[in-house]
Chains A and B, each alone.
Chain A
């Protein structure tokens, strides 16, 4: 089955700096890669996603890049703000009638210091 590894497990940055979180996946058939943000005591929520036919996607201060050859994708947050502090999860899935579920990474706790 799919295995998603995520690094780092914790990340501390100063407000205004950039943050990068990296994930690798094992199943070359995976072709959908979302990122979820979970604030303290709240449910995970989708912040951005990318499909395998695209190499990069941006939404304001957030961007995701995908390298299918290396089976690697990353989340980039620029101009970080204290409200970006949360746990971030990457995930992967593939179009497969037997498995319509996301496989998640282990999470990254991002702390933005004011």
Chain B
């Protein structure tokens, strides 16, 4: 059974804090993704990576960065958290082949106060 695991289910952080969201996959997949889920907006792509140390901006990268030092781990970093970054964050993994399933983690509900 494939697994994508996010380090926290719920997080509460203060405005201005640096926040790290961790994601680990055990599928040996090349691709990893970070999405943000907000009501009425669906899932919006923040960043993705198709190889170790490689990263590409998605549709809403502002205020975020990522790190992929190892194939199985993809971290999302909020350099200076703001209240408009309060959201559900979903990590996903997928193979390098086109048109294959994306496997999602359970999500991290981040609240910035």
Contacts and interface: CB of A to CB of B under 8 A. Distances in A.
Interface string B48-81: 1010000010110000000000000000000000
Interface string A99-114: 1111111110000000
A45 interface: yes
Contacts of B106: 42-43
Contact of B42 (A43, A51, A89, A95): A89
A106 B98 contact: no
Contacts of B99: 31-32, 49, 51, 93, 95
B50 A6 contact: no
A interface bracket (residues with beta carbon within 8 Å of B)? 20 to 34
Contacts of B48: 100-101
B96 interface: yes
A1 B42 contact: no
Given A1-B59, A44-B90, A102 B102 contact: yes
A25 B10 CA distance: 33
Contacts, number: 59
B interface bracket (residues with beta carbon within 8 Å of A)? 20 to 34
A43 B107 contact: yes
B45 interface: yes
Contacts of B94: 100
A32 to B, nearest CB: 4
A108 B98 CA distance: 25
A14 interface: no
Interface in A23-52: 31-32, 34, 42-46, 49, 51
B66 to A, nearest CB: 13
| CB-CB nearest 8 A-B residue pairs | A32-B99, A106-B42, A43-B104, A104-B43, A95-B98, A104-B42, A46-B101, A101-B48
18 contacts: A31-B99, A32-B98, A43-B90, A43-B104, A43-B107, A45-B104, A49-B99, A51-B99, A98-B56, A99-B56, A100-B98, A101-B45, A102-B33, A104-B44, A105-B42, A106-B40, A106-B41, A107-B40
